[in-house]
């Protein structure tokens, strides 16, 4: 199996390495922003179909807070950073240097902080990948959404599945030592598709 | 607050079927509650025949299929090709096209990214479902579309009742 657009062919194994580099860079960016050490707890590339994609960020009716970006340049795709609300509130507290438990809802300030967090994590990821393979990748401004996991992922997948019946998702779980922090970071690159003409 | 079927007191014999992305379910089983939990920019089309108490729900993802789509395995992923397929399935279980009650839910604009490609998928889905149902000559009798929030939909086949819940909105009956 290979991945790629018309001009570039990247094997899935190579892409796994790129995802690791990008994810390490992204988590490093998050650590710098909130001044706490984050580490990767799981990183994998999964092929998902429409049927099994809906639970990528939690049960459909779970409330989540997501930060969404699209990227463009030499290739395009989607990035989604998703948290349980309590986790997002903790991250806001950490980023703002205020006591844990202070934030308990999403106002304009909190949205701005999370948007910036998504921006940094997404940009660091893209830079990590771009530096390795010489691609030019640019993220959009972030959109912060608070809604049901099903509604959020449904909207992201609508565009991603326009071109494919299944797609590859880079799924990263990370945590922060000493804090009950767990986040999901999904990258859906449009060029990472099954190539039947291997 | 949960948005699943636990919001309702189901009858002893009632059971929920969750209709996933790009899927449809058509039945004459009045114990069934057809549901979409967490509907964003997608469209849920609920069709009911009160005479036979049959109906169906289709969870449609995108407005238009590509010309090179595999037509050997048609699905309701795309509205333009999915609506005829879905309506034909429902008609087979019904007392006739003229008795069908159609209601449409969804098409939210969830992700407002400047320069992003997803800005108008919800709106495009709304426009296409209107056109596709008009082509089928079936009027839309209920309509809860657009906005910026996701919805959960529960369609009760025993009565044709549809219950809708947005994350922070009230539970409403359509």
pTM of the model: 0.86
Cross-chain Cβ contact A158/B150 below 8 Å: no
The residue in chain A having the minimum alpha-carbon distance to the alpha carbon of residue B167 is A147
Q: Identify all chain B residues contacting A141, using CB atoms and an 8 Å cutoff.
A: 113-115
The residue in chain B having the minimum alpha-carbon distance to the alpha carbon of residue A72 is B116
Which residue of A143, A145, A149 is in closest CB contact with B38?
A149
User: Do A185 and A44 meet the contact criterion of CB atoms below 8 Å apart?
Assistant: no
Opening angle at CA A48, ends A144 and A164, nearest 5: 90
In which band, very low, low, confident or very high, does the pLDDT at B67 lie, cut at 50, 70 and 90? low
Q: What is the spatial distance between Cα A151 and Cα A157, in angstroms, rounded to a whole number?
A: 10
Q: What is the spatial distance between Cα A154 and Cα A78, in angstroms, rounded to a whole number?
A: 13
- The helix, strand and coil proportions of chain B, stated in percent and rounded to the nearest 5, come to 20, 35, 45
| Burial of residue B72 (number of CB atoms within 10 Å: 0-12, 13-18, 19+) | exposed
Within 10 angstroms of residue A39's Cβ, the number of other Cβ atoms is 11
In which band, very low, low, confident or very high, does the pLDDT at A6 lie, cut at 50, 70 and 90? very low
- What tens digit of pLDDT does each residue of B94-106 get? 999 999 999 999 9
User: Do A62 and A148 meet the contact criterion of CB atoms below 8 Å apart?
Assistant: yes
Q: Quick check: A153 pLDDT over 80?
A: yes
Which residue of B18, B113, B167 is in closest CB contact with A68?
B113
Q: Identify all chain A residues contacting B110, using CB atoms and an 8 Å cutoff.
A: 145, 147, 151-152, 155
Segment A126-139 mean pLDDT: 86
User: Do B17 and B155 meet the contact criterion of CB atoms below 8 Å apart?
Assistant: no
Which residue of A50, A61, A152 is in closest CB contact with B40?
A152
Q: What is the spatial distance between Cα A110 and Cα A88, in angstroms, rounded to a whole number?
A: 9
In which band, very low, low, confident or very high, does the pLDDT at B13 lie, cut at 50, 70 and 90? confident
Cβ of B145 under 8 Å from any chain A Cβ? no
B45/A41: higher pLDDT: B45
| Burial of residue A20 (number of CB atoms within 10 Å: 0-12, 13-18, 19+) | middle
- What tens digit of pLDDT does each residue of B114-143 get? 655 545 789 999 999 999 999 999 999 999
- Which DSSP symbol is given to B147? S
Cross-chain Cβ contact A159/B150 below 8 Å: no
pLDDT at position B135 = 95
Measured between alpha carbons, how far apart are the two ends of chain B, in Å? 20
In which band, very low, low, confident or very high, does the pLDDT at A47 lie, cut at 50, 70 and 90? confident
The residue in chain A having the minimum alpha-carbon distance to the alpha carbon of residue B24 is A51
Which residue of B62, B114, B150 is in closest CB contact with A158?
B62
pLDDT at position B118 = 47
- Using a CB–CB cut-off of 8 Å, the residues of A that contact B are 50-51, 53-54, 60-61, 63, 68-70, 140-143, 145-159, 161-163
Phi then psi for B167, rounded to 5 degrees? -55, -55
Cβ of B142 under 8 Å from any chain A Cβ? no
Among residues A145, A163, A165, which one has the least CA distance to residue A66? A145
Which entry of B42, B76, B79, B83 is annotated as an active-site residue?
A: B42
Cross-chain Cβ contact B110/A151 below 8 Å: yes
Of all residues in chain A, the percent with pLDDT exceeding 70 is 86
Residue B46 annotated to the active site: no
User: Do A154 and B150 meet the contact criterion of CB atoms below 8 Å apart?
Assistant: yes
Cβ of B39 under 8 Å from any chain A Cβ? yes
- What tens digit of pLDDT does each residue of A84-121 get? 999 999 899 988 889 989 999 999 999 999 999 999 98
Look-up of token digits 């000559």: B137
Q: Quick check: A62 pLDDT over 80?
A: yes
Q: What is the spatial distance between Cα A186 and Cα A80, in angstroms, rounded to a whole number?
A: 5
Cross-chain Cβ contact A154/B3 below 8 Å: no
The residue in chain B having the minimum alpha-carbon distance to the alpha carbon of residue A53 is B21
pLDDT at position B3 = 54
Cβ neighbours of residue B120 under 8 Å, at least 6 residues apart? B109
Within 10 angstroms of residue A40's Cβ, the number of other Cβ atoms is 15
Cross-chain Cβ contact A70/B112 below 8 Å: no
Among residues A109, A107, A103, which one has the least CA distance to residue A89? A103
User: Do A89 and A158 meet the contact criterion of CB atoms below 8 Å apart?
Assistant: no
Q: What is the spatial distance between Cα A81 and Cα A119, in angstroms, rounded to a whole number?
A: 10
pLDDT at position A5 = 46
pLDDT at position A46 = 79
Cβ of B150 under 8 Å from any chain A Cβ? yes
């Amino acid at each position: 199996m290979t991945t790629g657009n018309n001009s570039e062919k990247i094997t899935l194994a190579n892409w796994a390495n790129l995802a690791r580099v990008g994810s390490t860079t992204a988590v490093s960016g998050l650590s710098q922003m909130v001044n706490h050490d984050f580490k990767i707890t799981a990183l994998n590339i999964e092929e998902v179909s429409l049927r099994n994609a809906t639970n990528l960020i939690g049960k459909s009716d779970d409330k989540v807070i997501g930060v969404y970006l699209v990227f463009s340049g030499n290739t395009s795709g989607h990035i989604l950073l998703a948290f349980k609300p309590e986790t997002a509130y903790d991250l806001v507290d950490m980023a703002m240097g205020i006591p844990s438990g202070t934030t308990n809802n999403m106002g304009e300030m909190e949205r701005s902080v999370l948007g910036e967090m998504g921006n940094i994590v997404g940009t660091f990821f893209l830079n990590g990948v771009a530096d390795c393979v010489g691609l030019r990748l640019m993220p959009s401004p972030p959109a912060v959404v608070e809604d049901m996991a099903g509604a959020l992922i449904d909207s992201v997948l609508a565009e991603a599945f326009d071109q494919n019946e299944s797609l590859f998702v880079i799924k990263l779980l990370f945590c922060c030592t000493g804090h009950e922090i767990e986040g999901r970071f999904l990258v859906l690159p449009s060029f990472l598709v099954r190539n039947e003409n291997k | 607050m949960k948005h699943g079927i636990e919001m309702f007191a189901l009858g002893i014999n009632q059971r929920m079927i969750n209709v996933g992305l790009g899927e449809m379910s058509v039945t004459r089983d009045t114990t069934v509650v057809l549901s979409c939990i967490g509907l964003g920019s997608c469209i849920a089309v609920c069709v009911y025949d009160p005479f036979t108490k049959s109906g169906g729900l289709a969870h449609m993802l995108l407005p238009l299929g590509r010309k090179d789509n595999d037509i050997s395995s048609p699905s309701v992923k795309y509205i333009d090709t999915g609506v005829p397929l879905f309506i034909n399935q429902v008609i087979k279980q019904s007392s006739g096209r003229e008795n069908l009650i159609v209601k449409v839910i969804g098409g939210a604009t969830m992700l407002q990214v400047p320069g992003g490609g997803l800005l108008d998928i919800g709106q495009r889905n709304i426009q296409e479902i209107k056109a596709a149902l008009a082509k089928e000559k079936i009027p839309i009798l209920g309509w809860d579309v657009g906005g910026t929030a996701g919805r959960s939909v529960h369609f009760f086949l025993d009565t044709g009742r549809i219950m809708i819940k947005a994350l922070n909105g009230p539970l409403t009956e359509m």
